[in-house]
Copies of this chain bind each other. A is one copy, B any other.
Amino acid sequence: MADINVSLSPRPTKGDPGVPARSGGMGGGIGGGMGEGDPLVDVIELFFFAYRNFVSDPDEILQGIGFGRAHHRVLHFVNRHPGMRVTDLLDILRITKQSLGRVLRELVDQGFIDSRAGASDRRQRLLHLTPKGEALAQQFVTLQSHRIRRALEECGPDSRETARRFLVAMIDPEDRGPVEKLIARADQQAEAKTPPGASGKAAPPAGGSSGATGNRPAPPVRPAG
């Protein structure tokens, strides 16, 4: 039933020669920018398809418990940064307080997240996963890690660093430092918590990549507004 043949080739329902050869408009049309070098449209599309599949893994589980992607993101980052403040989550997700509030309330109400007042600053609500929440978050990480691991294995031994650097380089320059710091902080914390010498962890050479790995006074991964 109607596969992806986009009429273009093996799908002429009758004797249709595929596609009407487009009236020869002005030049450039489709490429990467006509005279700017390679057309990178293939990468654009691969990124689209890859990301779609990437997020679809958790989606199946989420559907079963009446949650959506928004819940997944919250669970993920709280898992990564136990004790984080609501504001921090807002900065990472770049959504509004109200949007976050909705899913956060559900996660707290249903016992996936524990929200306690800060000890030193009691205005803050510090977020932690409950064991239930941790189990779920772990499921997601496992699923997505599987996909990534498989992909990297198919790409050979050096691919991990190249992929990592590529993804970093795809991030807005002004966000790279903060993002890399964020990840590094979470990793550190995880290490500290883990029984010393648990699994591998190929030290991410965050320094060498693009130069923007920065040590600025922590500019924001800019909040939405």
Contact = CB atoms under 8 A, between A and B. Distances in A.
Contact of A92 (B6, B9, B175, B218): B6
Copies per assembly: 2
Chain A, interface residues (CB within 8 Å), range: 35 or more
B142 A36 contact: yes
Given A6-B182, A46-B183, A185-B9, A166 B163 contact: yes
A101 interface: no
Interface of A: 1-16, 18-22, 24-54, 73, 76, 79-85, 87-88, 90-92, 94, 118-121, 124, 126, 128, 131, 134, 138, 141-142, 144-152, 154-155, 158-160, 162-172, 175, 178-179, 181-183, 185-187, 189-190, 192-195, 198-202, 204, 209-210, 217-221, 223
18 contacts: A2-B90, A4-B179, A16-B120, A18-B83, A20-B82, A28-B194, A29-B190, A29-B193, A30-B80, A33-B142, A33-B146, A34-B138, A34-B199, A36-B149, A46-B183, A50-B167, A155-B165, A163-B166
B145 A27 contact: no
A46 B83 contact: no
A76 B29 CA distance: 11
Contact of A202 (B38, B170, B199): B38
Given A81-B6, A179-B49, A193-B24, A155 B166 contact: yes
